[in-house]
Amino acid sequence: MKRLPGIEQFKNARTRMVARDVEEAGVTEPQVLEALRAVPRHAFADKALEFQAYGGHALPIGHGQTLSQPYIVGRMTELLALTGEETVFEAGTGSGYQAAVLGLLAKTVYSVERLPELARRANRLLSDLGLANILVAAGDAYHGWDRYAPFDRIIITAGCSAIPKPLLDQLADPGILVAPVSADGEKQELIVVRRSAGVDTRIRAGECRFVPFIATEGPDADPERESRASTSL
């Protein structure tokens, strides 16, 4: 697996985190565990919280948003069943940490973040790490990214009340989509959509807790926000 800069720093803490907070919690796919050991999570945390980056919990990254817990990143990545050949779409770049993990395990990653400042920050961090197969854009991921669709895999990393229809339209066949969905606006559940020969099968893969998906259209639309098209950084 690609060796990323910064990997020697906090190496023991990171190895411990992966064993204790991810593997023991039930993520078993060796490639996913290796990718989590290979990404310097501290680089995605705010400088002041760097020392907390291997505590196994979610971390604030400003603007009320979070860098996801390593377990859920591992779990969702495992559910995507990547072989290295896939194009992946991520809705909700946030810190860019999940995108970095995907970047090590897939061919290309397209990630869209609605807050331009976070998109810029993630883009910079990912290029500093030399992850040239990840493209970040600022915009509303509700609409996916038409230009690069269809995607073999889609991951939504913010809690939505229903899977956005444009994202289902941009999922390839065969394809897998993983998303935290909350039907009642409270409890979120990971939903996995497996598409094969024109048929979608949905399975539930456990509870989770993400910050809300805020879109310009659909059931999670925030009427106070204007529509913004995705713009590559």
Q: Which residues are catalytic?
A: 68
Task: Specify the residue for token string 């993630």.
Answer: 122
Determine, following the binding rule CB under 6 A, whether residue 97 of this chain makes contact with ligand SAH. Answer: yes
Helix, coil or strand: residue 218: coil
From 13-21, 22-30, 106-114, 181-189, span contacting ligand SAH (CB under 6 A): 106-114
Q: Which helix (H) or strand (E) holds 173?
A: strand 171-181
Q: State the minimum distance, in angstroms, from the CB of residue 212 to ligand SAH.
A: 7
Residue 116: CB minimum distance to ligand SAH, A = 10
- Candidate ranges 89-97, 126-134, 190-198, 201-209; the one touching ligand SAH (CB under 6 A): 89-97
Whether cis (ω within 30° of 0) applies to the bond prior to 212 is: no
194 burial level (CB within 10 Å; 0-12, 13-18, 19+): middle
Verify binding: residue 49, ligand SAH, rule CB under 6 A.
Answer: no
Q: Which of 89, 142, 145, 151 binds ligand SAH (CB under 6 A)?
A: 142
175 near ligand SAH, rule: CB under 6 A: no
Q: Rounded to the nearest 10 degrees, what angle do helices 116-128 and 97-105 cross at?
A: 40
| Minimum gap (Å) between residue 3 Cβ and ligand SAH | 21
- CA geometry: angle at 84 spanning 32 and 151, to 5°? 105
113 near ligand SAH, judged by CB under 6 A: yes
Using the rule CB under 6 A, which residue among 70, 74, 92, 175 binds ligand SAH? Answer: 92
Tell me the CA distances in angstroms from 197 to 82, 87, 170, one per residue in order. 19, 19, 15
C-beta of residue 167 within 8 angstroms of C-beta of residue 89:
yes
123 binds ligand SAH, rule: CB under 6 A: no
List interacting residues with ligand SAH (CB under 6 A). Answer: 65-68, 91-92, 94-95, 97-98, 112-115, 118, 140-142, 157-158, 211, 213-215
